[in-house]
């Protein structure tokens, strides 16, 4: 399926935008992400899936390109209903073009011809169908992931409104390239926000299609708005694995809150970034130690199950008691009280536990 055929498939699966500013001469400004694309009739945004049709901004609605029920730890969230299942859904498109993207088939739709086969995964769904699907498979959470959820926020909110009415929690797995407008739009419905902090170099961020400061601002505002925030850094050899870079990342997260969990995860060569090496367990251990030395209370290692020792577990920051024991994405034991405290010393453990 070439790009034209894919566009012909996706463009009818849209609705008028709510995250939009009307301008003159039929132009519109999209407010879903920090690119703030100004579009003339017939133009597409940087994400390729939001577009101006005759003076109206059309946005994705009414389909998924992936839907799976799996542990919330896989997103990863470690302090959000441990052991719960999440129905994870995704659409197509992204506002970045990372050459190491592990979900590039869906994220680079309409941008990279190599992703042309993604159209065969598109299935029409309604918000009601998806909430019923989550309930049928005993999922406590609906997560928007796989592609960049910010660019499909109208669709997400329509799902989340229904999900919240039946007691489900809702989360985003995002690159954090948000506007204040979209964060306030999401705030009544979004319980958790996993944000990628890819590096602390604005030059590198611009190579990926974004800006460092925007992502930092998103982390701070999401935290201020009361969303449960966890931050993930994919540690890539030669890109962001120097001690200085990791120190800068950990220090920044600690200035927002020492209670924000920081995940340092291992990279494996993929997409266009195939010449580099995998991230070693030693590098991940070093990154985690830097996070702990920076004062972060909860530091986790990912993508190396069974090879990072205690860095898969949650410990009390006060008495060091083992609170949650994990193997990979599986919770083996959870000793945190229903009130979210350490059963031994009574310390409050930051997170969403019930």
**pLDDT 10s digits, 261-274:** 999 999 999 999 99
C-beta of residue 161 within 8 angstroms of C-beta of residue 170: no
- What distance in Å separates the CA atoms of residue 112 and residue 301, rounded to the nearest whole number? 31
- Residue 1 reports pLDDT greater than 80: no
Question: Residue 190's pLDDT is what?
Answer: 98
Give domain limits for the chain.
3-60, 63-312, 313-354
Do 271 and 104 touch, CB atoms closer than 8 A? yes
Name the strand (E) or helix (H) holding 221.
Answer: helix 212-224
pLDDT digits (tens, 9 = 90+) for 103-160: 999 999 999 999 989 999 999 999 999 999 999 999 999 999 999 999 999 999 999 9
User: What residues contact residue 69 under an 8 Å CB cut-off, 6+ apart?
Assistant: 85, 86, 87, 88, 134, 137, 139
Q: What global pTM score does this model have?
A: 0.97
**Which homologous superfamily does the CATH classification assign to the domain defined by 63-312?**
Aldolase class I (3.20.20.70)
How many angstroms separate the CA atoms of 58 and 315, rounded?
Answer: 47
Question: Does an H or E element contain 40, and which?
Answer: none
Tell me how far CA of residue 242 lies from CA of 10, 109, 246, 354, in angstroms. Answer: 41, 32, 6, 38
| CA separation for the pair 95, 182 (Å, rounded) | 14
Question: 326 has which bridge partners?
Answer: 331
Nearest to 321 by CA among 349, 279, 354: 349
Name the CA dihedral angle for 134, 138, 143, 146, rounded to a multiple of 10 degrees: -80
Residue 121: which residues within 8 A CB-CB, separation 6 or more?
A: 65, 66, 106
Phi-psi region of 93 (alpha: psi -120 to 50; beta: other; left: phi over 0): left
- What is the structure's pLDDT at 113? 93
pLDDT the model gives residue 52: 98
For the segment 5-50, what is each residue's pLDDT rounded down to a tens digit? 999 999 999 999 999 999 999 999 999 999 999 999 999 999 999 9
> Where does 42-94 show beta strands of DSSP type E?
51-53, 56-60, 63-64, 66-71, 85-90
Note the pLDDT of residue 307.
Answer: 85
**Structure letter (DSSP) for residue 135:** H
d(CA 217, CA 215): 5
Q: How far apart are the first and last CA of the chain?
A: 44
């Amino acid at each position: 399926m070439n790009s034209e055929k894919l566009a012909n498939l996706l463009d009818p699966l849209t609705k008028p935008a709510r995250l939009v500013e009307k301008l003159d001469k039929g132009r519109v400004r999209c407010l879903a992400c920090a690119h703030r694309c100004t579009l003339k009739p017939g133009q597409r945004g940087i994400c390729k899936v939001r577009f101006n049709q005759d003076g109206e901004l059309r946005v994705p609605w009414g389909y998924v390109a992936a839907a799976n029920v799996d542990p919330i730890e896989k997103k990863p969230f470690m302090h959000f209903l441990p052991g719960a299942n999440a129905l994870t859904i995704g659409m197509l498109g992204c506002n970045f073009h990372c050459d190491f993207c592990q979900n590039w088939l869906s994220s680079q739709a309409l941008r990279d011809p190599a992703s042309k086969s993604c159209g065969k995964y598109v299935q029409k769904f309604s918000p009601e169908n998806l909430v019923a699907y989550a309930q049928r498979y005993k999922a406590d959470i609906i997560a928007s992931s796989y592609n960049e959820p910010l660019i499909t926020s109208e669709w997400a909110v329509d799902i989340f409104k229904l999900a919240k009415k039946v007691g489900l929690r809702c989360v985003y797995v995002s690159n954090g390239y948000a506007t204040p407008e979209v964060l306030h739009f999401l705030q009544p419905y979004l319980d958790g926000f996993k944000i990628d902090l890819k590096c602390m170099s604005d030059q590198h961020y611009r190579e990926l299609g974004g800006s460092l400061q925007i992502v930092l601002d998103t982390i701070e505002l999401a935290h201020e708005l009361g969303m449960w925030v966890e931050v993930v850094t994919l540690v890539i050899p030669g890109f962001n694995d120097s001690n200085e870079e990791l120190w800068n990342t950990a220090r920044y997260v600690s200035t927002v809150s020492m209670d924000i969990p920081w995940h340092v995860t291992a990279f494996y060569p993929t997409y266009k970034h195939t010449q580099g090496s995998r991230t070693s367990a030693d590098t991940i251990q070093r990154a985690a130690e830097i996070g702990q030395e920076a004062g972060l209370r909860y530091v986790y290692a990912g993508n190396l199950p069974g090879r990072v020792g205690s860095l898969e577990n949650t410990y009390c920051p006060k008495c060091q008691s083992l609170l949650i024991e994990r193997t990979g994405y599986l919770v083996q034991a959870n000793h945190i009280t229903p009130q979210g405290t350490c059963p031994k010393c009574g310390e409050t453990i930051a997170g969403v536990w019930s």
